[in-house]
A and B are shown apart, each in its own frame.
Chain A
């Protein structure tokens, strides 16, 4: 692994299903983030973690949850997917809170 990796790269999901998007980084960065990107809108922060063991809510946290059990992994869970969660999801990391961020390749999620 080099940098930050997300899985899956794309997914079609039935509404009401539970889904976990995976994110792993090997840069030993303290801070990690989940964003969603929708056409015509800027990146919107869903949840963040400034260090392992801590998480915080971003601008659009409803319907999503995260955990940060260790430095490397930061999974995002949709408990019961809805069509409005159709989006491209980016995981990112930085050495400290909001210094230069490195992004994963994104997960394109379609909820039908």
Chain B
């Protein structure tokens, strides 16, 4: 079957750096997405990776290794507003999105 694994919860300190990992096993691969979801709100798009390597966008970066079925989201200079859930999703060979359960990130002062 198809599977996306992410840690359930992580805690980090304001101003620090945190890495949220995502491993996947899917039938085919046509890209990986990261979304941010604040409590009680809708998911919003953060990043998209289809080739191996690092994509940087301000304080957020996303890395992909297709051979390892692995991605991570790196958040730098953490702010309290970064407290949210981070969802990893993979687009499979049929262009269907498979979603992870999300990682709840708690930022402490």
Contacts and interface: CB of A to CB of B under 8 A. Distances in A.
Interface of A: 40-45, 58, 90, 97-98, 100-106
B91 A40 contact: no
Interface in B26-61: 33, 41-45, 48
Contacts of A100: 33, 45, 48
Contact of B45 (A41, A45, A90, A101): A101
Contacts of B70: none
Contacts of A105: 41-42
A43 B87 contact: yes
- DSSP class of B's interface residues: helix, strand, loop or mixed? strand
Given A42-B89, A103-B44, A105-B42, 6 more contacts: A40-B101, A42-B99, A45-B96, A98-B91, A100-B48, A101-B43
A96 to B, nearest CB: 9
Interface string B96-107: 111111100000
Interface of B: 4, 33, 41-45, 48, 87, 89, 91, 95-102
A98 B45 contact: no
Contacts of A44: 99
Contacts of B33: 100
Contacts of B97: 45, 98, 101
A55 to B, nearest CB: 14
A42 B95 contact: no
Contacts of B41: 105-106
B42 A104 contact: yes
B29 to A, nearest CB: 12
Nearest to A88: B40
B100 A103 contact: no
Given A42-B102, A43-B87, A100-B33, A90 B42 contact: yes
